[in-house]
Amino acid sequence: PSTLYVVATPIGNAGDITLRALNVLAIADAVACEDTRNTAQLLHRYGLHKELVAAHEHNEREAAEKLIARLQAGQRIALVSDAGTPAVSDPGARIVDAVRAAGLRVMPLPGASAAVSALSASGLVGDRFLFAGFLPAKAKQRESALLELKDVAATLVFYEAPHRIVDTVDALCATLQGERQVVFARELTKLFEEVHRCRLSEARAWLDADPNRQKGEFVVLVEGAAPASEEDDAEAERILAILLAECP
């Protein structure tokens, strides 16, 4: 008892729920969720009926207080978001933070996450990646966010909405080199799942070739920046030698 379980739920295919998640949802005294209608449907699919408590980005602080009181009274609470792992580009982090600060136990129940699923099927380097979530909607801010990531050697992972995918690809082409590999992981675990890999310079043509390619939910992955070449290293050493010669 007195535990907040952070429970991952499917990102499309209802089969992607773990046995442990189902057990915890079954024993929980209440389920805190982003959208009660959405979670009611999810629970109904697995034959579960639970008290649902709304805990979305607009009421996270008040929700946290109420949940803490229930946890202090010895209850078990499950925290879910609409899809995938709570607190990953989804509400949940503030509640977890408040529950921890109150000295109560928080347990993660691992499961689906669009970012990790996309990475696993991308063929891009997966031992180092930078999860960048959603890029800013405004062009200027998006560009500066991308410029900050320009030299990162790790694979870059972005979430994107269908109505912004074209703008995002244009911004990626403008700020990163066109020769990098890009992977579009679209509608993962769903009927129209597609994982497409090409060079950044070819990405816009691929998206434009079929309007269906701009629909659905996307994870966009971009190959990390190439390591500094030997020529760059030699140049750096040359400059260092000049600077050292100038030092008293």
The footprint of ligand SAM (CB under 6 A) covers 11-12, 81, 83-85, 88-90, 113-115, 159-161, 185-190, 217-219
Nearer to ligand SAM, 13 or 72 (CB): 13
Alpha carbons 29 and 99: distance in angstroms, whole number: 16
Task: Tell me the closest approach of the beta carbon of residue 236 to ligand SAM, in angstroms.
Answer: 38
Nearer to ligand SAM, 11 or 172 (CB): 11
Nearer to ligand SAM, 60 or 90 (CB): 90
Task: Tell me the closest approach of the beta carbon of residue 114 to ligand SAM, in angstroms.
Answer: 3
Which residue has the CB atom at the shortest distance from ligand SAM?
Answer: 84
Q: For the chain, how are helix, strand and coil distributed in percent, rounded to 5?
A: 40, 20, 35
Task: Tell me the closest approach of the beta carbon of residue 193 to ligand SAM, in angstroms.
Answer: 7
Task: Tell me the closest approach of the beta carbon of residue 88 to ligand SAM, in angstroms.
Answer: 4
DSSP per residue, 52-117:
EEE--TTTHHHHHHHHHHHHHTT-EEEEE-SSBSTTSSSTTHHHHHHHHHTT-EEEEE----HHHH
Nearer to ligand SAM, 89 or 177 (CB): 89
Beta bridge partners of 52: 31
Q: Would you state the structure tokens that stand for residue 52, as one six-digit string?
A: 């649902």
